[in-house]
A and B are shown apart, each in its own frame.
Chain A
Amino acid sequence: DSGVTQTPKHLITATGQRVTLRCSPRSGDLSVYWYQQSLDQGLQFLIQYYNGEERAKGNILERFSAQQFPDLHSELNLSSLELGDSALYFCASSVYDSWAETQYFGPGTRLLVL
């Protein structure tokens, strides 16, 4: 158990709909990352927040947005869903040691768009 929680575990919805994925980081971690893993693909970096502020952006579609709240949990909003958005969505929180950052991943949310 990494200490990162994600809800829901599974989500089935229809094209054109909007969903919200939730992530709670490990206690004390200020940074949250969001990744998308499509079938047979690596993890694609979407976006990173640090203490409520967006810090880095990857290949995140305009239909997708995220935010991090004062209690440090984060939400990823996916709208106008398409079949190709079906994927595993992971969040990770991170901690810095003396010289490097380690990310701890949640169990993921499996999204199926029908």
Chain B
Amino acid sequence: DQQVKQNSPSLSVQEGRISILNCDYTNSMFDYFLWYKKYPAEGPTFLISISSIKDKNEDGRFTVFLNKSAKHLSLHIVPSQPGDSAVYFCAATSGTYKYIFGTGTRLKVLA
């Protein structure tokens, strides 16, 4: 049972445009969500997070939106840069110290 789903395995975007990565979850008990970026041969790097008491969190070029009723979150990257090319994982937790990760979306930003 995949509680956190990233249905798009890959995404290509032109440099300077917006990248939107999506994530759906099924467990209504999740109350904290995170996005990680992963380059080849490296571990995931924390990008941005959001608590379920918010619907938006922004950090520079990165914004995460949370729609609790739809059990959906998205990561917006504006403007996209070639260095953003990586695999992006969303993760969720319900405060039990168990983090459930999605399968990742490979983003390619074309110069």
Contact = CB atoms under 8 A, between A and B. Distances in A.
B101 A92 contact: no
A103 B98 CA distance: 12
A30 to B, nearest CB: 12
Contact of B99 (A45, A104, A108): A45
B32 interface: yes
A90 B102 CA distance: 15
B46 A58 contact: no
Interface residues of A, number: 26
B6 to A, nearest CB: 8
Contacts of B42: 107-108
Contacts of A100: 32, 49, 51
B89 interface: yes
Contact of A99 (B34, B43, B51, B98): B51
A74 B104 CA distance: 26
A106 interface: yes
B4 A42 contact: yes
Interface string B96-111: 1111111110000000
Interface of A: 2, 4, 33, 35, 40-45, 48, 55-56, 58, 90, 92, 99-108
